[in-house]
Structure 1
Amino acid sequence: MAHILLVDDDYHIQQLVSHILQGAGYLVTIASDGKEGLSLFNRSDFDLIVLDVMMPHMDGWEFCTTIRKSSDLPILFLSAKSQVVDKVKGLKMGSDDYLTKPFEAIELLARIKALLRRYGIQNTGVISIGKIILDQCRYHVNFNGKEIDLPLKEFRLLFKLAESPGRTFTREQLLADIWGMDFEGVDRTVDVHINRLRDKFPSALAGFEIQTIRGLGYKVKIIDEKKK
């Protein structure tokens, strides 16, 4: 599942674009200005950035220039600045595409898909690990041949871990990616959801286990049947 960073200070645009992208099977993380976007970029892995121009603290121009010093991640400007000179400026600064507001959902998705395809990033929305298959488009889990449903947060948490077996995710990363930066719940939220997943998918049956990395967070480990 491709992970998209949306950087825009307009709440209504945030909600609209998030709804469109999540409906198409993408994972979306939101930043309200370039400064927050840069902080998120340095803490999480993303596959593409959708970027506004006019924002407080750090505008899109500066954000794009900063990102291009260290990364060639695809960047799509999504801006109300519709003059040709603005589009040319965005492309000269290193963006890959420029779409003006207002926009049609179908065109936004087409441009994002084209950029991800150009960079070789797939977004099938379906992954398998151990004896389960996770379908992000339907939020369904096939476990040992049986279809089961999970609460949304549990599904997204398991999908996040299963996308990168062996990689350790900190609690802070998981909270930011699954619950959002504005989440104000208890500190043990991630732990509680992890325990629920462990209860539902015992390692002996699921073919994988969710390991606790002391002082850091969690990772998924695939169980090698040959070593049993």
Structure 2
Amino acid sequence: MAILIIEDDPKTGDYLRKGLRECGYSVDLARTGTDGVHMAMQQSYDLVVLDVMLPGMDGWEVIHRIRERGDMPVVFLSARDDVSDRIRGLRLGADDYLVKPFSFVELELRIRTILRRGIVRESDVFEAADLRLDVLRRKVTRDGVEIALTNKEFMLLHLLMKRQGEVLSRTQIASEVWDMNFDSDTNVVDVAVKRLRAKIDGPFQQKLISTIRSVGYSLSA
């Protein structure tokens, strides 16, 4: 298995190259985004480990160029730990997103899992009854009518539709959407769901978002 590491920090790049070679992988290392794209275009790799903050060309642009070539699996490895950054990376086609500082054992396990399962892309469009969410276009419609959502409302709906039929606790929602540990004295999740429900369910007869008493929320058709 051949892996390409695109990482500008010398210590991190050398550490990853040494560790992955010891795990039996064939490993190449690029120090800039530009060099990484060039190498990815010249050779077929089984997986790319990609930093976001790179000289010459950042990781967002690199994965865009790589995706033009084909479905080479990509794992982001970045110090940028905002939920919005993780979502952006996954929307651009990354297979995983690991935040620095990281555990090498965890990284290697995630790489092994991706290589074992093959390429699995998250859907760009989610549907429940007449509700439709288009991730790439950031567009939500119900019964053909477009619904304007704030960024957090869109992220909340995306989570509920992605986990359609599951009951999500307030803690899970707070962690995924706000990247925060849920405080029982904070009603941010309940307020956000109430506002989202008013837009998604209010004008329509069929209600999709349910409150599960003492547990959390669920969306299902």
| TM-score normalised according to structure 2 size | 0.53
| Partner in structure 2 of residue 169 of structure 1 | 168
Q: How far apart are 1:77 and its partner, in Å? A: 8.1
Q: 1:182 to 1:206 in 2, by over 3 A?
A: same
TM-score (norm 1): 0.52
Q: Aligned-pair distance for 1:93?
A: 4.7
Assess if the C-alpha contact under 8 Å between 2:126 and 2:132 holds in 1: yes
Q: What is the distance in 2 between the residues matched to 1:218 and 1:145?
A: 25
- Residue 48 of structure 1: aligned partner: none
- After superposition, residues 1-228 of structure 1 pair within 5 angstroms as 80=9, 81-83=12-14, 86-90=16-20, 92-93=22-23, 97-99=48-50, 102=54, 104=57, 105=59, 106-109=61-64, 110=66, 114-115=72-73, 116=95, 119-181=118-180, 187-202=186-201, 205=204, 207-222=206-221
Per chain length, whose mean CA-contact separation is higher, i.e. which structure has more relative contact order (CA < 8 Å, sep 6+)? 1
Structure 2 SS opposite 1:178: helix
Aligned residue pairs, count: 146
Distance 1:134 1:99, change over 3 A: closer
Compute the displacement of 1:88 (Å).
3.7
Give me the CA root mean square deviation: 3.6
> Identity over the aligned pairs, expressed in percent?
25
The secondary structure found in structure 1 opposite 2:120 is coil
Partner of residue 54, structure 1? none
- Residue type matched to 1:205 in 2? F
Match of 1:23 in 2: none
State which structure, 1 or 2, has the greater radius of gyration over its C-alpha atoms: 2
Structure 2 residue ranges without an equivalent (≥5): 26-46, 74-94, 96-113
CA distance in 2 between partners of 1:94 and 1:204 (Å): 58
- The Cα shift of 1:144 comes to 0.9
Q: Which amino acid aligns with 1:147?
A: E
Deviation at 1:121, TM superposition (A): 1.9
Q: Report the AA paired with residue 135 of structure 1.
A: D
Cα displacement (A) at 1:201: 2.3
Which aligned runs of 4 or more in structure 1 are off by greater than 6 angstroms?
182-186
Inter-CA distance 98–201: structure 2 relative to 1 (3 Å threshold): closer
1:203 is displaced (CA, Å) by 7.4
- Structure 2 contact 131–141 (Cα < 8 Å) conserved: yes
1:173 deviation in Å? 1.1
Q: Is the 8 A contact 2:7 2:13 kept in 1?
A: no
